[in-house]
Amino acid sequence: MNNSEPSAVSLPLSQRAQRLSAPGTSSMRSKANALKEAGINVVNFAAGELSFDACPVMKAAATDALATARNRYTPPIGLPQLRHALAQQVTQRCGVNYAADEIAVTAGAKQALYNAAMVLLNPGDEVIVAVPYWETFPTQIQLAGGVPVYVDTAADDYRLTCAAVQKALTPRTRMIVINTPNNPTGTVYQREELLGIARLAFAHRLWVVFDECYRKLVRAPHEHHNIVSLFAPLKHQTVLVDSFSKSHAVTGWRVGYACAPAPVIAAMHNLQGHTTSNPSSLSQYAALGSLMADAPHFTRQVNAFLDQQLLAACTCLGHVDGIRCAPPEGAFYLFIDVSRKLGGRYLGSVIRDVDHLADLLLTEAHIAVVPGSGCGDGNSIRISYAVEREALIEGLTRFARFMSEIVTH
Ligand SMILES: Cc1ncc(COP(=O)(O)O)c(C=O)c1O
pLDDT in tens, 112-129: 999 999 999 999 999 999
Nearest-angstrom CA–CA distance, 376 and 394: 28
Distances (CA, A) of 254 to 278, 282, 340, 409: 11, 10, 39, 48
200 is a domain residue: yes
Facing residues of 407 across strands?
A: 345
User: Which pLDDT band holds residue 331 (cuts at 50, 70, 90)?
Assistant: very high
pLDDT of residue 24: 75
Mutate to test the pocket of ligand 1, among 133, 136, 217, 332 (most ligand atoms within 8 A of CB): 136
**Angle in degrees, 0-180, between the axes of helices 281-292 and 80-94, rounded to the nearest 10:** 40
Cβ-based neighbours of 315, under 8 Å, separated by 6 or more: none
Atom of ligand 1 nearest to the CA of 113: 4
Closest ligand 1 atom, residue 244 Cα: 10
| Distance from Cα 28 to the centre of ligand 1, integer Å | 17
134 CA → ligand 1 middle, Å: 8
Instruction: Looking at the structure, tell me whether residues 197 and 211 fall in a common domain.
Output: yes
Percent of the chain with pLDDT over 90: 89
Q: What is the CA(110)–ligand 1 centre distance, in A?
A: 6
Atom of ligand 1 nearest to the CA of 110: 11
Please tell me the distance between residue 179's alpha carbon and the centre of ligand 1 in angstroms.
Answer: 10
89 and 22 part of one domain: no
Q: Are residues 115 and 252 in the same domain?
A: yes
Report, as an integer, the average pLDDT of 174-192: 97
- Domains held by the chain: number: 2
Tell whether 409 is covered by a domain: no
Answer yes or no: do 313 and 246 share one domain: no
CB 156 within 8 A of CB 167: no
39 plus 130 within the same structural domain: no
Q: Is residue 124 one of the residues assigned to a domain? A: yes
Looking at the structure, do residues 366 and 255 belong to the same domain, yes or no? no
230 and 348 housed in the same domain: no
Task: Grade residue 2 by pLDDT with cuts at 50, 70 and 90.
Answer: low
Query: If you average pLDDT over every residue of the chain, what do you get?
Result: 94
Express each pLDDT in 291-311 by its tens digit: 988 668 899 999 999 999 999
Averaged over 239-246, what is the pLDDT? 97
Shared domain check, 259 and 113 = yes
Which residue type, as a one-letter code, is found at position 334? L
- Do both 31 and 73 map to the same domain? no
Average pLDDT of the residues in 354-359: 96
Is residue 280, in this structure, part of any structural domain at all? Answer: yes
Q: Which residues span the domain enclosing 87? A: 59-294
Pocket, ligand 1, Cβ cutoff 6 A: 48, 108-110, 134, 179, 183, 211, 213, 243, 245, 251, 256
CA distance 7 to 1: 9
Which numbered atom of ligand 1 lies nearest the CA of 243? 10
Query: Mean pLDDT over residues 243-264, rounded?
Result: 97
Q: Which atom of ligand 1 is nearest to the CA of 211?
A: 3
4 part of a folded domain: no
pLDDT digits (tens, 9 = 90+) for 85-108: 999 999 999 999 999 999 999 999
Check whether 8 has a pLDDT greater than 80.
no
Q: Would residue 9 count as lying in a domain?
A: no
Q: How far is the CA of 46 from the centre of ligand 1 (A)?
A: 14
Tell me the pLDDT tens digit for each residue of 187-224.
Answer: 999 999 999 999 999 999 999 999 999 999 999 999 99
What pLDDT is attached to residue 145?
97
CA of 235 to the centre of ligand 1 (A): 22
Dist. CA 148 → ligand 1 center (Å): 18
In this predicted model, what pLDDT tens digit does every residue of 371-409 receive, in sequence order? 999 999 999 999 999 999 999 999 999 999 999 999 987
Question: Within a domain: residue 10?
Answer: no
Query: Do residues 85 and 205 share a domain?
Result: yes
Q: What is the pLDDT of residue 11?
A: 92
Residue closest by Cα to atom 14 of ligand 1: 48
Task: List the CATH number of the domain containing 281.
Answer: 3.40.640.10
Domain-located, residue 408: no
Please list the alpha-helical segments (H only) found in 224-340. Answer: 227-230, 262-274, 281-292, 296-317
Q: Find the 213 Cα to ligand 1 centroid distance in Å.
A: 7
The CB density around residue 221, as the number of other CB atoms within 10 Å, is 6
The mean pLDDT of 276-284, rounded to a whole number, is 98
Would you state the pLDDT for residue 27?
80
% of the chain exceeding 70 in pLDDT: 97
The confidence score (pLDDT) of residue 23 equals 83
- Give pLDDT tens digits for 130-142: 999 999 999 999 9
Q: Are residues 193 and 337 in the same domain?
A: no
Whether residues 249 and 311 share a domain: the answer is: no
- What integer pLDDT is reported at residue 293 of this predicted model? 82
CATH at residue 384: 3.90.1150.10
